[in-house]
Protein backbone atom coordinates (compact mmCIF):
# COMPACT_ATOMS: atom_id res chain seq x y z
CA UNK A 1 0.00 0.00 0.00
CA UNK A 2 1.35 3.45 -0.96
CA UNK A 3 1.65 5.91 1.92
CA UNK A 4 1.66 9.70 1.45
CA UNK A 5 2.23 12.75 3.61
CA UNK A 6 -0.70 14.42 1.84
CA UNK A 7 -3.49 13.13 -0.39
CA UNK A 8 -5.65 15.67 -2.21
CA UNK A 9 -9.13 14.61 -3.32
CA UNK A 10 -10.12 16.71 -6.34
CA UNK A 11 -7.93 18.40 -8.97
CA UNK A 12 -9.68 21.75 -9.44
CA UNK A 13 -7.82 25.05 -8.87
CA UNK A 14 -7.82 24.48 -5.10
CA UNK A 15 -6.78 20.83 -5.27
CA UNK A 16 -4.03 20.99 -7.86
CA UNK A 17 -2.50 24.15 -6.32
CA UNK A 18 -2.57 22.49 -2.88
CA UNK A 19 -0.80 19.45 -4.33
CA UNK A 20 1.88 21.55 -6.03
CA UNK A 21 2.57 23.59 -2.89
CA UNK A 22 2.75 20.42 -0.76
CA UNK A 23 5.26 18.94 -3.20
CA UNK A 24 7.30 22.17 -3.20
CA UNK A 25 7.47 21.93 0.60
CA UNK A 26 8.95 18.43 0.39
CA UNK A 27 5.82 16.47 1.26
CA UNK A 28 5.14 13.19 -0.56
CA UNK A 29 1.89 14.00 -2.35
CA UNK A 30 -0.86 12.27 -4.33
CA UNK A 31 -3.93 13.68 -6.05
CA UNK A 32 -7.17 11.87 -6.88
CA UNK A 33 -9.48 12.94 -9.73
CA UNK A 34 -12.62 11.07 -10.75
CA UNK A 35 -12.72 12.48 -14.30
CA UNK A 36 -10.33 11.71 -17.16
CA UNK A 37 -9.14 15.33 -17.23
CA UNK A 38 -7.88 17.38 -14.31
CA UNK A 39 -8.79 20.98 -13.52
CA UNK A 40 -12.24 20.53 -12.00
CA UNK A 41 -15.24 22.70 -12.87
CA UNK A 42 -13.14 25.81 -13.52
CA UNK A 43 -10.97 24.44 -16.30
CA UNK A 44 -13.45 21.98 -17.83
CA UNK A 45 -16.94 23.46 -17.52
CA UNK A 46 -16.50 26.85 -15.84
CA UNK A 47 -14.03 29.73 -15.90
CA UNK A 48 -11.91 28.71 -18.90
CA UNK A 49 -14.55 27.57 -21.45
CA UNK A 50 -16.88 30.44 -20.56
CA UNK A 51 -14.11 33.01 -21.11
CA UNK A 52 -13.24 31.35 -24.44
CA UNK A 53 -16.87 31.76 -25.57
CA UNK A 54 -17.08 35.28 -24.17
CA UNK A 55 -14.00 36.27 -26.19
CA UNK A 56 -15.18 34.55 -29.40
CA UNK A 57 -18.65 36.09 -29.17
CA UNK A 58 -17.10 39.49 -28.43
CA UNK A 59 -15.05 39.27 -31.65
CA UNK A 60 -18.19 38.35 -33.59
CA UNK A 61 -20.16 41.25 -32.14
CA UNK A 62 -17.33 43.66 -32.90
CA UNK A 63 -17.21 42.40 -36.50
CA UNK A 64 -20.93 42.95 -37.11
CA UNK A 65 -21.41 46.12 -35.05
CA UNK A 66 -18.16 48.03 -34.59
CA UNK A 67 -15.63 47.22 -37.31
CA UNK A 68 -17.13 49.74 -39.72
CA UNK A 69 -16.65 52.69 -37.36
CA UNK A 70 -12.97 51.69 -37.10
CA UNK A 71 -12.67 51.87 -40.88
CA UNK A 72 -12.66 48.10 -41.33
CA UNK A 73 -14.90 47.07 -44.19
CA UNK A 74 -15.84 43.44 -44.73
CA UNK A 75 -16.93 42.31 -48.17
CA UNK A 76 -19.99 40.10 -47.89
CA UNK A 77 -21.87 38.84 -44.85
CA UNK A 78 -20.16 38.11 -41.54
CA UNK A 79 -21.10 34.55 -40.61
CA UNK A 80 -20.96 32.86 -37.24
CA UNK A 81 -19.94 29.19 -37.09
CA UNK A 82 -21.05 27.89 -33.69
CA UNK A 83 -19.48 24.47 -34.24
CA UNK A 84 -16.07 26.04 -34.93
CA UNK A 85 -16.48 28.38 -31.95
CA UNK A 86 -17.17 25.40 -29.69
CA UNK A 87 -14.21 23.51 -31.20
CA UNK A 88 -11.88 26.41 -30.37
CA UNK A 89 -13.25 26.48 -26.83
CA UNK A 90 -12.58 22.74 -26.52
CA UNK A 91 -9.00 23.24 -27.73
CA UNK A 92 -8.42 25.95 -25.11
CA UNK A 93 -9.79 23.63 -22.41
CA UNK A 94 -7.68 20.70 -23.61
CA UNK A 95 -4.47 22.76 -23.65
CA UNK A 96 -5.19 24.07 -20.16
CA UNK A 97 -6.04 20.70 -18.60
CA UNK A 98 -2.95 19.10 -20.19
CA UNK A 99 -0.97 21.86 -18.50
CA UNK A 100 -2.12 20.44 -15.14
CA UNK A 101 -0.83 16.97 -16.11
CA UNK A 102 2.53 18.58 -16.90
CA UNK A 103 2.61 20.33 -13.51
CA UNK A 104 1.79 17.08 -11.67
CA UNK A 105 4.65 15.29 -13.44
CA UNK A 106 7.06 18.18 -12.95
CA UNK A 107 6.38 18.23 -9.20
CA UNK A 108 6.50 14.39 -8.90
CA UNK A 109 2.92 14.17 -7.64
CA UNK A 110 1.32 10.71 -7.98
CA UNK A 111 -2.06 10.88 -9.70
CA UNK A 112 -4.96 8.46 -9.38
CA UNK A 113 -8.07 8.45 -11.54
CA UNK A 114 -11.25 7.34 -9.82
CA UNK A 115 -13.63 8.30 -7.02
CA UNK A 116 -11.78 8.80 -3.74
CA UNK A 117 -13.74 7.80 -0.63
CA UNK A 118 -12.69 7.48 2.99
CA UNK A 119 -12.31 4.03 4.47
CA UNK A 120 -11.24 5.70 7.70
CA UNK A 121 -9.37 8.89 8.61
CA UNK A 122 -6.06 7.56 7.28
CA UNK A 123 -7.10 5.35 4.37
CA UNK A 124 -8.71 6.27 1.06
CA UNK A 125 -10.26 3.83 -1.39
CA UNK A 126 -9.99 4.86 -5.05
CA UNK A 127 -12.60 3.28 -7.30
CA UNK A 128 -11.45 3.60 -10.90
CA UNK A 129 -10.68 0.96 -13.48
CA UNK A 130 -9.57 -1.09 -10.51
CA UNK A 131 -9.92 -0.50 -6.79
CA UNK A 132 -6.86 0.78 -4.91
CA UNK A 133 -6.41 1.75 -1.26
CA UNK A 134 -3.79 4.29 -0.21
CA UNK A 135 -2.68 5.61 3.17
CA UNK A 136 -2.71 9.34 3.95
CA UNK A 137 -1.07 11.03 6.92
CA UNK A 138 -3.05 14.15 5.92
CA UNK A 139 -5.94 14.57 3.47
CA UNK A 140 -7.21 17.71 1.74
CA UNK A 141 -10.82 17.57 0.55
CA UNK A 142 -11.12 19.69 -2.62
CA UNK A 143 -14.18 18.15 -4.28
CA UNK A 144 -15.71 21.47 -5.36
CA UNK A 145 -19.30 22.19 -6.27
CA UNK A 146 -21.95 21.52 -8.88
CA UNK A 147 -24.76 23.68 -10.29
CA UNK A 148 -27.65 24.18 -7.86
CA UNK A 149 -31.28 24.13 -8.89
CA UNK A 150 -34.69 24.77 -7.34
CA UNK A 151 -36.57 21.79 -5.85
CA UNK A 152 -39.40 21.90 -8.41
CA UNK A 153 -37.18 22.22 -11.50
CA UNK A 154 -36.23 19.12 -13.42
CA UNK A 155 -32.95 19.73 -15.27
CA UNK A 156 -33.36 17.62 -18.42
CA UNK A 157 -30.05 18.83 -19.96
CA UNK A 158 -31.83 19.35 -23.29
CA UNK A 159 -34.13 22.37 -22.98
CA UNK A 160 -33.82 23.04 -19.25
CA UNK A 161 -30.08 23.30 -18.76
CA UNK A 162 -27.27 24.31 -16.40
CA UNK A 163 -24.06 26.17 -17.23
CA UNK A 164 -22.45 22.82 -18.16
CA UNK A 165 -24.87 22.28 -21.08
CA UNK A 166 -24.86 25.99 -22.00
CA UNK A 167 -21.13 25.67 -22.74
CA UNK A 168 -21.70 23.06 -25.44
CA UNK A 169 -24.85 24.14 -27.28
CA UNK A 170 -25.42 22.78 -30.78
CA UNK A 171 -27.50 25.81 -31.81
CA UNK A 172 -28.01 29.41 -30.78
CA UNK A 173 -31.31 29.68 -28.88
CA UNK A 174 -34.04 31.83 -30.38
CA UNK A 175 -35.05 32.98 -26.90
CA UNK A 176 -32.91 32.00 -23.90
CA UNK A 177 -34.62 32.35 -20.53
CA UNK A 178 -32.07 32.77 -17.72
CA UNK A 179 -33.15 32.08 -14.15
CA UNK A 180 -30.73 34.00 -11.94
CA UNK A 181 -29.09 37.38 -12.49
CA UNK A 182 -25.74 36.46 -10.96
CA UNK A 183 -22.33 36.02 -12.54
CA UNK A 184 -22.95 32.77 -14.47
CA UNK A 185 -26.35 33.76 -15.85
CA UNK A 186 -25.18 37.18 -17.03
CA UNK A 187 -21.97 35.92 -18.63
CA UNK A 188 -23.61 33.09 -20.58
CA UNK A 189 -26.63 35.27 -21.33
CA UNK A 190 -24.31 37.82 -22.94
CA UNK A 191 -22.57 35.11 -25.01
CA UNK A 192 -25.84 34.02 -26.63
CA UNK A 193 -27.22 37.58 -26.90
CA UNK A 194 -24.18 38.48 -29.01
CA UNK A 195 -24.71 35.40 -31.16
CA UNK A 196 -28.29 36.43 -31.95
CA UNK A 197 -30.53 35.03 -29.21
CA UNK A 198 -33.20 37.02 -27.44
CA UNK A 199 -32.32 36.85 -23.73
CA UNK A 200 -34.57 37.38 -20.70
CA UNK A 201 -33.08 37.29 -17.19
CA UNK A 202 -35.50 36.41 -14.38
CA UNK A 203 -34.13 37.37 -10.96
CA UNK A 204 -35.66 36.86 -7.49
CA UNK A 205 -33.90 39.89 -5.95
CA UNK A 206 -34.61 43.51 -6.86
CA UNK A 207 -31.30 43.86 -8.71
CA UNK A 208 -28.77 41.84 -10.69
CA UNK A 209 -25.38 40.82 -9.16
CA UNK A 210 -27.00 41.43 -5.74
CA UNK A 211 -23.86 40.64 -3.69
CA UNK A 212 -21.87 43.46 -5.34
CA UNK A 213 -22.07 47.23 -4.81
CA UNK A 214 -25.47 48.65 -5.76
CA UNK A 215 -23.90 51.18 -8.14
CA UNK A 216 -22.36 48.29 -10.10
CA UNK A 217 -25.72 46.51 -10.38
CA UNK A 218 -27.33 49.68 -11.69
CA UNK A 219 -24.57 50.44 -14.21
CA UNK A 220 -24.31 46.89 -15.58
CA UNK A 221 -28.06 46.61 -15.97
CA UNK A 222 -28.17 49.93 -17.83
CA UNK A 223 -25.49 48.69 -20.25
CA UNK A 224 -27.05 45.23 -20.74
CA UNK A 225 -30.46 46.82 -21.39
CA UNK A 226 -28.80 49.00 -24.02
CA UNK A 227 -27.55 45.73 -25.54
CA UNK A 228 -31.25 44.62 -25.64
CA UNK A 229 -31.15 42.05 -22.82
CA UNK A 230 -34.51 41.96 -20.99
CA UNK A 231 -34.90 41.77 -17.22
CA UNK A 232 -37.65 40.66 -14.86
CA UNK A 233 -36.47 41.61 -11.36
CA UNK A 234 -38.25 40.76 -8.08
CA UNK A 235 -39.76 37.70 -9.74
CA UNK A 236 -40.09 34.41 -7.86
CA UNK A 237 -40.03 31.45 -10.23
CA UNK A 238 -42.71 28.90 -9.34
CA UNK A 239 -42.60 26.42 -12.23
CA UNK A 240 -40.46 25.47 -15.23
CA UNK A 241 -41.82 23.10 -17.85
CA UNK A 242 -40.35 21.62 -21.03
CA UNK A 243 -43.12 21.41 -23.65
CA UNK A 244 -41.04 19.85 -26.43
CA UNK A 245 -39.58 22.72 -28.42
CA UNK A 246 -40.64 25.35 -25.90
CA UNK A 247 -39.93 25.99 -22.23
CA UNK A 248 -42.51 27.79 -20.09
CA UNK A 249 -41.39 29.54 -16.90
CA UNK A 250 -44.02 30.72 -14.43
CA UNK A 251 -43.18 33.33 -11.82
CA UNK A 252 -44.81 35.71 -9.37
CA UNK A 253 -43.94 39.40 -9.56
CA UNK A 254 -43.55 41.58 -6.46
CA UNK A 255 -47.30 42.26 -6.41
CA UNK A 256 -48.04 38.53 -6.37
CA UNK A 257 -49.32 38.40 -9.95
CA UNK A 258 -48.47 35.29 -11.97
CA UNK A 259 -46.32 35.99 -15.05
CA UNK A 260 -45.40 33.57 -17.82
CA UNK A 261 -42.21 33.53 -19.90
CA UNK A 262 -41.70 31.39 -23.01
CA UNK A 263 -38.43 30.48 -24.71
CA UNK A 264 -36.83 27.56 -26.49
CA UNK A 265 -34.13 27.06 -23.79
CA UNK A 266 -33.99 27.83 -20.08
CA UNK A 267 -30.64 28.25 -18.29
CA UNK A 268 -30.96 27.61 -14.56
CA UNK A 269 -28.17 29.61 -12.89
CA UNK A 270 -29.22 29.99 -9.27
CA UNK A 271 -25.78 29.32 -7.84
CA UNK A 272 -23.77 26.23 -6.99
CA UNK A 273 -23.78 23.72 -4.13
CA UNK A 274 -20.95 21.78 -2.44
CA UNK A 275 -20.21 18.39 -3.93
CA UNK A 276 -19.43 15.60 -1.47
CA UNK A 277 -21.18 12.62 -3.11
CA UNK A 278 -19.06 9.48 -2.95
CA UNK A 279 -16.65 10.97 -0.41
CA UNK A 280 -17.98 8.81 2.44
CA UNK A 281 -17.01 11.58 4.86
CA UNK A 282 -18.83 9.87 7.75
CA UNK A 283 -16.43 6.91 7.61
CA UNK A 284 -13.63 9.31 8.56
CA UNK A 285 -15.85 11.10 11.10
CA UNK A 286 -15.82 14.37 9.11
CA UNK A 287 -18.78 16.67 9.87
CA UNK A 288 -20.86 18.39 7.20
CA UNK A 289 -23.17 21.30 8.03
CA UNK A 290 -26.85 21.58 7.05
CA UNK A 291 -25.85 23.23 3.75
CA UNK A 292 -23.73 20.23 2.77
CA UNK A 293 -20.47 22.10 3.34
CA UNK A 294 -17.53 20.53 5.13
CA UNK A 295 -17.16 22.24 8.49
CA UNK A 296 -13.69 23.70 9.10
CA UNK A 297 -11.92 25.92 11.63
CA UNK A 298 -9.74 28.98 10.93
CA UNK A 299 -6.95 26.67 9.68
CA UNK A 300 -9.40 24.98 7.23
CA UNK A 301 -9.07 21.89 9.40
CA UNK A 302 -12.10 19.64 9.87
CA UNK A 303 -13.14 18.15 13.22
CA UNK A 304 -10.73 15.30 12.33
CA UNK A 305 -7.29 16.84 12.90
CA UNK A 306 -5.45 15.33 9.89
CA UNK A 307 -8.22 16.15 7.36
CA UNK A 308 -8.61 19.60 5.80
CA UNK A 309 -11.06 21.04 3.26
CA UNK A 310 -10.81 23.93 0.80
CA UNK A 311 -12.62 25.73 -2.02
CA UNK A 312 -16.28 25.44 -2.96
CA UNK A 313 -16.85 22.58 -0.51
CA UNK A 314 -16.34 24.93 2.48
CA UNK A 315 -18.00 28.24 3.39
CA UNK A 316 -17.24 31.46 1.54
CA UNK A 317 -17.31 32.71 -2.03
CA UNK A 318 -17.19 29.99 -4.68
CA UNK A 319 -14.24 31.38 -6.62
CA UNK A 320 -11.32 29.58 -8.25
CA UNK A 321 -8.79 32.07 -6.88
CA UNK A 322 -10.21 31.76 -3.34
CA UNK A 323 -9.74 27.98 -3.64
CA UNK A 324 -6.14 28.49 -4.84
CA UNK A 325 -5.32 30.71 -1.85
CA UNK A 326 -6.82 28.11 0.48
CA UNK A 327 -4.87 25.32 -1.24
CA UNK A 328 -1.60 27.14 -0.65
CA UNK A 329 -2.67 28.03 2.90
CA UNK A 330 -3.43 24.42 3.91
CA UNK A 331 -0.22 23.07 2.35
CA UNK A 332 1.77 25.56 4.42
CA UNK A 333 -0.20 24.78 7.61
CA UNK A 334 0.54 21.05 7.16
CA UNK A 335 4.24 21.90 6.64
CA UNK A 336 4.26 23.78 9.97
CA UNK A 337 4.23 27.32 8.60
CA UNK A 338 1.90 30.14 9.70
CA UNK A 339 0.20 31.48 6.53
CA UNK A 340 -2.68 33.97 6.41
CA UNK A 341 -5.64 34.71 4.13
CA UNK A 342 -7.54 38.00 4.25
CA UNK A 343 -10.94 37.00 2.86
CA UNK A 344 -11.98 40.65 2.65
CA UNK A 345 -9.33 41.12 -0.05
CA UNK A 346 -10.38 38.31 -2.40
CA UNK A 347 -11.76 40.12 -5.46
CA UNK A 348 -14.97 39.23 -7.26
CA UNK A 349 -15.31 39.60 -11.05
CA UNK A 350 -18.10 39.38 -13.64
CA UNK A 351 -16.63 38.79 -17.11
CA UNK A 352 -19.38 40.46 -19.11
CA UNK A 353 -18.37 43.40 -21.28
CA UNK A 354 -17.98 45.84 -19.69
CA UNK A 355 -16.38 43.78 -16.94
CA UNK A 356 -17.35 44.24 -13.29
CA UNK A 357 -14.85 43.87 -10.45
CA UNK A 358 -14.97 44.45 -6.71
CA UNK A 359 -12.83 44.11 -3.62
CA UNK A 360 -13.42 45.02 0.02
CA UNK A 361 -16.57 46.52 1.49
CA UNK A 362 -19.52 47.72 -0.56
CA UNK A 363 -21.20 51.04 0.24
CA UNK A 364 -24.21 49.13 1.60
CA UNK A 365 -21.98 47.16 4.01
CA UNK A 366 -20.26 50.33 5.27
CA UNK A 367 -23.65 51.95 5.93
CA UNK A 368 -24.82 48.83 7.76
CA UNK A 369 -21.63 48.80 9.86
CA UNK A 370 -22.06 52.54 10.54
CA UNK A 371 -18.57 53.35 9.24
CA UNK A 372 -17.87 57.02 8.57
CA UNK A 373 -16.73 56.75 4.95
CA UNK A 374 -15.92 58.91 1.93
CA UNK A 375 -16.62 57.97 -1.68
CA UNK A 376 -14.86 59.00 -4.87
CA UNK A 377 -16.12 58.01 -8.31
CA UNK A 378 -14.77 58.59 -11.80
CA UNK A 379 -16.50 57.79 -15.12
CA UNK A 380 -14.67 55.71 -17.73
CA UNK A 381 -16.00 57.93 -20.52
CA UNK A 382 -13.74 60.76 -19.29
CA UNK A 383 -10.60 58.75 -20.18
CA UNK A 384 -8.75 59.25 -23.44
CA UNK A 385 -8.04 55.49 -23.59
CA UNK A 386 -11.75 54.67 -23.28
CA UNK A 387 -12.67 57.04 -26.09
CA UNK A 388 -9.88 55.63 -28.27
CA UNK A 389 -11.18 52.07 -27.87
CA UNK A 390 -14.87 52.98 -27.75
CA UNK A 391 -15.32 51.42 -24.31
CA UNK A 392 -16.87 54.37 -22.51
CA UNK A 393 -19.33 52.61 -20.16
CA UNK A 394 -18.62 52.24 -16.46
CA UNK A 395 -16.78 53.88 -13.59
CA UNK A 396 -14.34 53.30 -10.74
CA UNK A 397 -15.56 53.96 -7.20
CA UNK A 398 -13.23 54.07 -4.19
CA UNK A 399 -14.56 54.00 -0.63
CA UNK A 400 -12.32 55.18 2.21
CA UNK A 401 -12.39 55.65 5.96
CA UNK A 402 -13.23 59.35 6.33
CA UNK A 403 -10.89 59.80 9.31
CA UNK A 404 -7.82 57.85 8.13
CA UNK A 405 -8.28 57.86 4.30
CA UNK A 406 -7.55 54.09 4.26
CA UNK A 407 -9.13 52.38 1.24
CA UNK A 408 -11.99 50.13 2.39
CA UNK A 409 -13.49 49.08 -0.93
CA UNK A 410 -12.97 49.50 -4.66
CA UNK A 411 -15.76 48.81 -7.16
CA UNK A 412 -15.48 49.13 -10.92
CA UNK A 413 -17.37 48.57 -14.13
CA UNK A 414 -15.50 48.98 -17.39
CA UNK A 415 -13.06 47.62 -19.94
CA UNK A 416 -10.41 45.38 -18.34
CA UNK A 417 -11.85 45.87 -14.83
CA UNK A 418 -10.96 42.21 -14.14
CA UNK A 419 -7.28 43.14 -14.51
CA UNK A 420 -7.50 46.61 -12.95
CA UNK A 421 -8.88 45.24 -9.68
CA UNK A 422 -5.43 43.77 -8.89
CA UNK A 423 -4.14 47.32 -8.29
CA UNK A 424 -6.86 47.81 -5.70
CA UNK A 425 -6.09 44.47 -4.01
CA UNK A 426 -2.39 45.38 -3.83
CA UNK A 427 -3.14 48.81 -2.38
CA UNK A 428 -5.52 47.41 0.23
CA UNK A 429 -3.16 44.56 1.16
CA UNK A 430 -0.62 47.23 2.15
CA UNK A 431 -3.29 49.37 3.90
CA UNK A 432 -2.89 52.19 1.38
CA UNK A 433 -4.83 55.43 1.58
CA UNK A 434 -6.60 57.05 -1.35
CA UNK A 435 -3.89 59.72 -1.15
CA UNK A 436 -1.24 57.01 -1.68
CA UNK A 437 -2.94 55.80 -4.87
CA UNK A 438 -3.50 59.35 -6.12
CA UNK A 439 0.21 60.17 -5.75
CA UNK A 440 1.33 57.19 -7.88
CA UNK A 441 2.01 57.80 -11.55
CA UNK A 442 -0.36 55.93 -13.86
CA UNK A 443 0.63 55.55 -17.51
CA UNK A 444 -1.32 57.65 -20.00
CA UNK A 445 -3.48 56.79 -21.81
CA UNK A 446 -4.74 53.76 -19.86
CA UNK A 447 -7.95 52.53 -18.26
CA UNK A 448 -6.01 52.43 -14.97
CA UNK A 449 -6.02 56.23 -14.84
CA UNK A 450 -9.64 55.92 -13.67
CA UNK A 451 -8.33 54.34 -10.45
CA UNK A 452 -6.06 57.31 -9.80
CA UNK A 453 -8.85 59.78 -10.60
CA UNK A 454 -11.31 57.97 -8.30
CA UNK A 455 -8.67 58.10 -5.54
CA UNK A 456 -8.30 61.85 -6.13
CA UNK A 457 -12.08 62.21 -5.91
CA UNK A 458 -12.16 60.23 -2.65
CA UNK A 459 -9.58 62.51 -1.03
CA UNK A 460 -11.81 65.55 -1.40
CA UNK A 461 -13.19 66.18 -4.88
CA UNK A 462 -9.74 66.53 -6.47
CA UNK A 463 -10.35 64.52 -9.67
CA UNK A 464 -8.62 66.31 -12.55
CA UNK A 465 -10.50 65.22 -15.66
CA UNK A 466 -14.17 65.75 -14.74
Distance of alpha carbon 221 from the chain centroid = 19
Domains of the chain: 3-147+273-341 (3.50.50.60), 160-270 (3.50.50.60), 345-458 (3.30.390.30)
CA trace torsion 154, 160, 161, 167 (10° rounding): 170
Return the pLDDT at 427: 98
pLDDT, tens only, 223-249 = 999 999 999 999 999 999 999 999 999
Return the pLDDT at 466: 86
Question: Which stretches of 95-208 are assigned E, i.e. beta strand?
Answer: 110-113, 115-120, 123-127, 131-141, 145-147, 160-161, 175-179, 198-202
Distance of alpha carbon 228 from the chain centroid = 24
Tell me the pairing of strands 123-127 and 131-141: antiparallel
Q: What is the mean pLDDT of residues 199-219?
A: 98
444 catalytically annotated: yes
Catalytic residue among 59, 66, 444, 465: 444
pLDDT, tens only, 257-307 = 999 999 999 999 999 999 999 999 999 999 999 999 999 999 999 999 999
pLDDT at 461 over 90: no
CB 103 within 8 A of CB 16: yes
Tell me the pairing of strands 395-401 and 407-414: antiparallel
pLDDT, tens only, 72-131 = 999 989 999 999 999 999 999 999 999 999 999 999 999 999 999 999 999 999 999 999
pTM: 0.97
Percentage with pLDDT > 90 across the chain: 98
Amino acid sequence: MNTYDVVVIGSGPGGYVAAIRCAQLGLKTAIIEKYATKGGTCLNVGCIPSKALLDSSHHYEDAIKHFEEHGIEIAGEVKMNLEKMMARKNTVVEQTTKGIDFLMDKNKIDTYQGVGSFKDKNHIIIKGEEEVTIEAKNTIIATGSKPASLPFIEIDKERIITSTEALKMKEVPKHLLVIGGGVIGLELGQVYKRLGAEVTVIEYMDRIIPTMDKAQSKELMKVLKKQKTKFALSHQVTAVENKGDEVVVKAKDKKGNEVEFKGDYCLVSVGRKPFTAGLNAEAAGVKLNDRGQVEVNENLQTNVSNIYAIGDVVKGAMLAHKAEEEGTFVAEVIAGQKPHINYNLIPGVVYTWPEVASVGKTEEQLKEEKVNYASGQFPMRALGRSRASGDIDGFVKILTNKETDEVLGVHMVGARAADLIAEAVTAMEFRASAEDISRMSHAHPTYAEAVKEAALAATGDRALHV
